[in-house]
């Protein structure tokens, strides 16, 4: 269809082509030449007349095609004017949009108070459909089994993925390593990093909460889709790549379960004393096994041994 760019339909173009081979034609002659009904030919002829491609003579009514060179040039000029009008409108609308954008507030909200913050964190996770990303660092407001802990286990059981980067100091707090271990059994993918810069929760890549405290008052910055959120997503992924896996990788051979557990604790920054308490072994046994592991991994410290094991795929 050659004239489609000028708004000429396929049926109209067939009628116009039929007229080009004649001097003048009646409606019946046009319909026969174009292979359509008289009603269809009539509709096409009226449309072509409106576009200047067909001229009609009365008494009796007959139709003839306008000279193609002139008629199509007029159509082209008209379409060019329409395009220019659309471009001018686009410029005007862009200016209006930019002015409105400058007046809009950045998609940021600050919520204040312990209870309100707790509710917002829980609500965000209940609304998550695919993934929750977390940066965890001290201090922690609550100890023991918290509503957050229970909800995370529920959401993971429902198929929501949780990825968490723990600060090494987080896992040194009493009971934190045991809670992290329970979450790992529930499906959490956990890594540890020495120096997590902030606490952070991101849900489905479309919203984030950044908790902080001012003069002892708990607050959170709540973000919607924005360049700020994109930056936080990038930060999380960078930390995730740099962090060491916290727990043994399933199906990886080379370490027995006890050594895997010790290396996981070591990568979290635990001392020999705390590893002994957590595993139920004596401090002397922990020291002996860790020395062997450090030698095999060419590590000078226990923490370095855990990191080396993670990088070699011995921890997941």
pLDDT tens, residue by residue, 161-214: 999 999 988 887 777 888 888 898 899 999 888 888 889 999 999 999 988 877
Question: What pTM was computed for the model?
Answer: 0.54
**Dihedral (CA of 184, 190, 196, 202) sign:** negative
CATH number of 1-104: 1.10.10.10
Q: Given this model, what pLDDT does residue 214 score?
A: 75
Task: Return the closest-CA partner of residue 208 out of 103, 306, 128, 144.
Answer: 128
- The architecture (CATH level 2) of 108-242 comes to 2-Layer Sandwich (3.30)
Portions of the chain given CATH number 1.10.10.10: 1-104, 257-311
Q: Give whole-number Cα distances, 237 to 50, 135, 187, 194, 228, in Å.
A: 61, 11, 19, 15, 15
Neighbour tally for 103: CB within 10 Å: 7
- pLDDT tens, residue by residue, 226-248: 888 888 898 898 888 777 777 75
pLDDT in tens, the chain (316 residues): 567 767 788 888 889 988 888 888 889 998 898 899 999 999 999 998 888 889 988 888 899 888 888 778 887 777 777 666 655 665 676 566 656 655 555 567 888 888 888 899 999 999 999 999 999 998 876 665 688 889 999 999 999 999 999 998 888 777 788 888 889 889 999 988 888 888 999 999 999 998 887 777 788 888 888 888 888 898 898 888 777 777 755 544 567 778 878 887 877 777 888 888 888 889 899 888 888 888 877 777 777 777 667 666 666 5
Portions of the chain given CATH number 3.30.870.10: 108-242
Task: State how far the Cα of 145 lies from the Cα of 53, in Å rounded to an integer.
Answer: 80
Neighbour tally for 45: CB within 10 Å: 24
Total count of residues recorded for the chain: 316
- The architecture (CATH level 2) of 257-311 comes to Orthogonal Bundle (1.10)
Task: State how far the Cα of 92 lies from the Cα of 205, in Å rounded to an integer.
Answer: 33
Task: State how far the Cα of 161 lies from the Cα of 212, in Å rounded to an integer.
Answer: 25
Q: Give whole-number Cα distances, 265 to 171, 300, 311, in Å.
A: 9, 16, 15
Task: State how far the Cα of 146 lies from the Cα of 140, in Å rounded to an integer.
Answer: 11
Task: State how far the Cα of 263 lies from the Cα of 149, in Å rounded to an integer.
Answer: 24
């Amino acid at each position: 269809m050659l004239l489609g760019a000028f708004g000429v339909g396929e049926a109209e173009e067939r009628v116009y082509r039929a007229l080009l081979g004649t001097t003048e034609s009646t409606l019946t002659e046009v319909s026969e030449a174009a292979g359509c009904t008289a009603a269809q030919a009539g509709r096409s002829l009226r449309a072509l007349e409106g576009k200047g491609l067909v001229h009609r003579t009365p008494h009796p009514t007959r139709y003839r095609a306008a000279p193609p060179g002139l008629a199509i040039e007029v159509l082209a000029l008209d379409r060019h004017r329409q395009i220019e009008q659309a471009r001018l409108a686009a410029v005007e609308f862009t200016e209006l949009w930019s002015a409105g954008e400058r007046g809009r507030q950045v998609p940021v909200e600050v919520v204040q108070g312990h209870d309100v913050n707790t509710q917002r964190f829980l609500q965000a996770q209940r609304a998550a459909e695919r993934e929750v990303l977390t940066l965890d660092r001290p201090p922690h407001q609550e100890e023991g089994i918290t509503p957050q802990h229970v909800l995370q286990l529920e959401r993971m059981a429902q198929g929501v993925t949780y990825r968490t980067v723990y600060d090494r100091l987080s896992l040194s707090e009493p009971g934190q390593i045991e809670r992290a271990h329970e979450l790992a059994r529930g499906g959490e993918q956990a890594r540890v990093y020495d120096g997590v810069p902030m606490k952070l929760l991101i849900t489905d890549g479309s919203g984030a909460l950044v908790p902080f405290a001012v003069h002892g008052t708990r607050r959170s910055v709540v973000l919607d889709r924005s360049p700020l959120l994109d930056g936080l997503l990038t930060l999380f992924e960078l930390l995730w790549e740099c962090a060491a896996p916290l727990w043994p990788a399933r199906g990886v051979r080379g370490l027995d379960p006890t050594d895997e557990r010790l290396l996981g604790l070591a990568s979290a920054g635990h001392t020999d004393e705390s590893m002994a308490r957590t595993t139920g072994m004596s401090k002397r046994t922990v020291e002996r096994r860790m020395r062997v592991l450090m030698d095999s991994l060419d590590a000078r410290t226990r923490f370095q041994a855990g990191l080396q094991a993670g990088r070699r795929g011995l921890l997941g």
